[in-house]
């Protein structure tokens, strides 16, 4: 029952998109196995909740909407007792709700567009995670996820930032979330990337690529969770 938290100190970094895409893909993979996914929306904008309340949301996704500073820990407790994965979409500020949720995380995903300003905000988020780790008295794993990348090219700035994160010892996802129309469409029309239907061959190919991007993202999430669990076991065994 791992809890995956999506955190950013600013809006517009792709936090909600990453949370919804992951929830959709984990739900798709878990449907035949009876695995439920909990999606907790603690962002005042409630974009994750708006998507989940549209027609077409997978039946094995349980939504916890309007989570606040007072209710978020209770929501996480309830979700962890009933779901195979718990995903938390946080607000873009360093509030007590953010610190509380991060302190419960098995993995924090920090979405970051390939720009210097977003990288600075990612560093702020990392400091919040480190503070939460001190409060919780444990290590809290985190990784930076590049979002809204061009499908055609990797920018010079993106390469530079990746090198900076790597040089600072900051874990960076191998995959990125590409800026695709299919990811935007699910927020407009509901459903998931896999339920979209392209009206022509070009659209169908774009949906297929978006679906593959979501699958690769979900698989890397699971690998990171497994790696952290294995590290904890090795540490416990001395």
Q: What's the mean pLDDT when you consider all of the chain?
A: 92
Per-residue pLDDT, 143: 97
- Strand partners of residue 90: 42
Q: In a 3-state reduction of DSSP, which class is residue 219?
A: helix
Per-residue pLDDT, 32: 92
- Split at pLDDT 50, 70, 90, the class of 152 is low
Per-residue pLDDT, 177: 94
- Split at pLDDT 50, 70, 90, the class of 92 is confident
Least confident range from 129-138, 156-165, 181-190, 200-209: namely 156-165
Q: In a 3-state reduction of DSSP, which class is residue 237?
A: coil
Dmax (CA) for the chain in angstroms is 58
Reply yes or no on whether the pLDDT at 157 is more than 80: no
H or E element at residue 7: none
Per-residue pLDDT, 153: 58
Reply yes or no on whether the pLDDT at 151 is more than 90: no
Per-residue pLDDT, 154: 65
Query: How much is the average pLDDT of 163-178?
Result: 92
pLDDT tens figures, 175-232: 999 999 999 999 999 999 999 998 899 999 999 999 999 999 999 999 999 988 888 7
> How far apart, in whole angstroms, are the C-alpha atoms of residue 99 and residue 177?
25
> How far apart, in whole angstroms, are the C-alpha atoms of residue 115 and residue 106?
27
> How far apart, in whole angstroms, are the C-alpha atoms of residue 202 and residue 181?
12
Reply yes or no on whether the pLDDT at 137 is more than 80: yes
The DSSP annotation for 84-142 comes to: SEEEEEE-SS--HHHHHHHHT-SEEEEEE-SSHHHHHHHHHHHHHHHHHHHHHTS---E
Q: In a 3-state reduction of DSSP, which class is residue 62?
A: strand
Instruction: Select from 8, 36, 11, 25 the least CA-distant residue to 175.
Output: 25
Instruction: Please enumerate in sequence order all residues whose Cβ is within 8 A of that of 66, keeping only pairs 6 or more positions apart, or say none.
Output: 41, 46, 49
Least confident range from 29-38, 80-89, 162-171: namely 162-171
CB 41 within 8 A of CB 201: no
> How far apart, in whole angstroms, are the C-alpha atoms of residue 133 and residue 103?
6
Instruction: Please enumerate in sequence order all residues whose Cβ is within 8 A of that of 230, keeping only pairs 6 or more positions apart, or say none.
Output: none
Domains of the chain: 3-236 (3.40.50.300)
Per-residue pLDDT, 63: 98
């Amino acid at each position: 029952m791992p809890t995956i938290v999506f955190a950013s100190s600013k809006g517009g970094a792709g936090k909600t998109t990453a949370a919804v895409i992951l929830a959709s893909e984990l739900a798709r993979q878990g449907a035949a196995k009876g695995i439920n996914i909990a999606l907790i929306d603690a962002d005042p904008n409630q974009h994750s909740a708006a998507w989940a309340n549209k027609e077409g949301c997978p039946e094995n996704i349980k939504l916890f909407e309007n989570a606040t500073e007072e209710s978020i820990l209770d929501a996480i407790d309830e979700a962890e007792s009933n779901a195979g994965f718990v995903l938390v979409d946080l607000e873009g500020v360093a509030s007590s709700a953010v610190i509380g949720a991060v302190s419960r995380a098995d993995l924090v995903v920090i979405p970051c567009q390939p720009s210097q300003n977003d990288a600075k905000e990612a560093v702020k988020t990392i400091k919040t995670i480190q503070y939460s780790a001190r409060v919780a008295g444990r290590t809290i794993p985190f990784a930076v996820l590049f979002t809204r990348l061009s499908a055609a090219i990797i920018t010079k700035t993106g390469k530079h930032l990746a090198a900076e994160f790597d040089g600072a010892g900051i874990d960076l996802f191998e995959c990125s979330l590409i800026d695709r129309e299919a990811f935007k469409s699910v927020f407009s029309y509901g459903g998931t990337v896999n339920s979209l239907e392209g009206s022509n061959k070009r659209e169908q190919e774009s949906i297929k690529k978006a679906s593959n991007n979501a699958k690769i993202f979900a698989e890397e999430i699971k690998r990171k969770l497994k790696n952290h669990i294995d590290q904890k076991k090795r540490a416990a065994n001395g």
